[in-house]
Structure 1
Amino acid sequence: MMSALSLLRSRLFISAFMVALFSSSLSSVRAEDAQPLKVAIVGLEHSHVYGFLDQLGKHTDVQLVGIADGDATLWEKFGKRYSLPDTLFYKSEANMIERTRPQAVLVYTSISEHRHAIEIAAQYGVSVMVEKPLTISLEDAFAIRRIAREHKIHVLVNYETTWYPSNKAAYDEVRENRIGEIRRVVVHDGHQGPKEIGVPPEFLKWLTDPEQNGAGSLYDFGCYGVDLMTWLMRGETPQTVTAVVNHDKPQIYPKVDDDSTIILQYPHAQAVIMGSWNWPFARKDMEVYGATGYAITVAADQIRIRHEHDLEEHIATAPPLPAQERDSLSYLSAVLRGEIVPKGDLTALDTNLIVMQILDAARESAKTGRSVKLTKLGD
């Protein structure tokens, strides 16, 4: 029989072995977690890709493994500007994914190409982040939702204003009932015009084509306010959508609107969303009026607030966003690690399905001159 001392030694050995095994497993998990997120780019036609590549240098936790675009002149342009090796470029998205095995693709094509890019990525189980808006029509949006569910991938939508601390501060004023129930929201988005501000020709070409962009300023900038209002209203569908558009510069934009106003009517609230290529300067700001106060965003990080018993408004610096929500890449990484569940927020697919329902209705309203009634979308 084993002596008590031998038994004790055996148990200590087993315990030490288990501790070492656990430590080794934990180290492996940590090492795996420490690996950079592998992402790839699909398309170089959307100028927001410059912002991503500029941002990439600040993210040592993200690795660009491939770029898919059929235009070799864009390869040369971006390769030279960002010192990118030729081996990074591929003609087709499928070939790039097969060779590089990214964990996510970032889509910078025309809006009409979003669905196709998502379909290809989904075949490989790769999640996708597209630039706003989600797609060109509600029909495409339903197809994208079906694809995401079937292939169990994330589909996210990147809006610049998602990463504005001022918008989150205004949202918190509503959520914490400091300004009362929402009564009216006014959103201004846009700039002097894409040609006027000198966007690259490959961007201007599809941005001013309704078959590729869905509309002009109505889609390009109206989507920001629609996304923000849907978020503020926690996914509630408006009762009606009414939109008007102008062609103030037909000599520059003959095919699409360059000024738009969308009115969303809810049972006890209204939103007026003004997306335009005719502002005298670039702007992205929002006014939220509640029953007992208001919150008005000023640029990305300032907010003007007045509550029920305040004698006057005050201006504050909005608190910084959490590290996981500071920009699109931080958010994407957190979603893929399971640290954020993208549901009901500005980037989430469920939110952006409603956004597409509203944009579709706004386009129809502008065309017919009538308000469009909406009902809640089915699952």
Structure 2
Amino acid sequence: MARYLLLFLLLSAQLVSGQSPKKPLRVGIVGLEHDHVNGILNKVFRQTGQTDIEVVGIAEPNRELAEKLAKRHGFSMNLVYPTVAEMLDKTKPEAVTDFSRIVNHKKTVDICAPRGIHVMVEKPLATTYEDAKQMAALAKKHNIQLLTNYETTWYSSNHKAYAIANTDKSIGDLRKIVVHDGHQGPKEIGVSNEFFSWLTDPVANGAGALFDFGCYGTNLSTWLMHNQRPLSVMAVTQQIKPDIYPKVDDEGTIILTYPKTQTIIQGSWNWPFGRKDMEVYGQTGYVFTVDGSRMRVRLKDDKSEQAIQANQADAPATDPFAYFARLIHGETKPDELTSLENNLIVVEILDAARQSAKTGKAIKLPK
């Protein structure tokens, strides 16, 4: 009885204030072959009380994979359709989240944009700059949101570092950015067979560690540099474990040269432990991120560095799917790290980095 009374009071308060209960964002999932899909499946089908999104359909041609994940997360196979077009036509989502191979991102935008369906893809946006430009043109033509999701976008430490460096300008003009991302390797950490098969394919993924983890630092550097494109891109890749990764690099380093700043991006499948951290140096101080919340800072008059902690409120959200729903419903402003403007530059840089690694030469970006 008390439960129904509480519900009545909540509904009455909303009616008095002129508000109607918020409906969850109707979301379709494109592809299940990216292990990051477990995040949204866990949120929707295993967490009680979440009202941000509703998964209305899943497009996945691999029935065996769909059945495996349905058993793990408890969703009905009635949600699963063999093609994206059929899923969209039958379920009418407002937005989709793409967990297919990176090369297929353009196909998703091709079919969703004309229908006015918003899209969020997993990083990076595309495997080539040409694809990225065509995707951006479609998104703008049909007035849809086209976002790129990175784990590090939701790190409060990154946003506090940005505030110290750029908003407060506490470390002076930026001089050097160093970003480290990666882990021991996809096989070594035990990714699924479906994920491994395309993640280690140069066409499906764009490259190996160079794209898989180089995109993080490229995204962060572009953000810190206010979407300024670098003058040149230089990259070196290696196959340290060709027996495991015969088709792609497992080690990639990218150097971005700006007029008065340099960025070094180290993406690797050879770290002894998983890491996603960053060093930002200015003329008069530095700020380091250790993980999603811990940081180290030394300013001009400090005799030694200080360990500090970022707060959750420093980040735009802690959940990318809740953020996606709020953005589509007009309840929050677009975040720069997920933005199309930033991620067009990211793919331009990655494309140049791949070319540089192949030729052994620095690639100058056109002005």
Q: Which residue of 2 aligns with 1:165?
A: 156
CA contact (8 A) 2:254 2:266 kept: yes
Q: How does 1:1-379 map to 2 (within 5 A)?
A: 27=18, 30-31=19-20, 34-56=22-44, 57=47, 59-175=50-166, 176-321=168-313, 325-342=317-334, 345-376=336-367
Can you give the 5+ residue segments of structure 1 that lack an aligned partner in the other structure?
A: 1-22
Distance of aligned partners of 1:324 and 1:260 in 2 relative to their CA distance in 1, 3 Å threshold: closer
Once the two structures are TM-superposed, the CA of residue 342 in structure 1 deviates from its matched residue by: 2.6
Paired letter, 1:52: I
Q: CA deviation at 1:327?
A: 2.0
Structure 2 gaps, min length 5:
1-13
Partner of 2:242, secondary structure, is: coil
Is 2:156–2:314's contact at 8 Å kept on the other side of the alignment? no
Query: Aligned residues: percent identity?
Result: 50
Deviates more, 1:364-373 or 1:79-88: 79-88
Distance 1:165 1:323, change over 3 A: closer
Q: Which whole-Å deviations, capped at 9, do the CAs of 1:204-250 have from their partners, x for residues lacking one? A: 00011101000000000000000000000000000010000010000
1:323 Cα shift?
7.8
Q: Number of paired residues?
A: 350
Q: Distance between the aligned counterparts of 2:330 and 2:23, measured in 1?
A: 15
Q: Which moved more, 1:104-113 or 1:323-332?
A: 323-332
Rate the CA distance shift 1:292–1:54 in 2: closer, same or farther, 3 A: same
Contact 2:232–2:258, Cα closer than 8 Å, also in 1 = yes
Compute the RMSD of aligned alpha carbons: 1.5
For residues 155 and 304 of structure 1, the distance between their equivalents in structure 2, rounded to whole angstroms, comes to 34
Partners of 2:43 and 2:360 in 1: CA distance? 42
CA positional deviation for 1:25: 10
Paired with 2:108 and 2:322, the residues of 1 have a C-alpha distance of 22
| Stretch of structure 1 that moved more, 53-62 or 75-84 | 53-62
Report deviation, 1:203.
0.4
Aligned 8 A contact 1:323 1:330 in 2:
no
* Alpha-carbon offset, residue 326 of structure 1: 2.1
Which letter does structure 2 place at the counterpart of 1:285? D
Displacement of 1:102 after TM fit?
Answer: 1.1
TM-score by length of 1: 0.90
Is the 8 Å Cα contact of residues 120 and 148 (structure 2) preserved in structure 1? yes
- Which amino acid is 1:290 matched to? G
| Structure with bigger gyration radius | 1
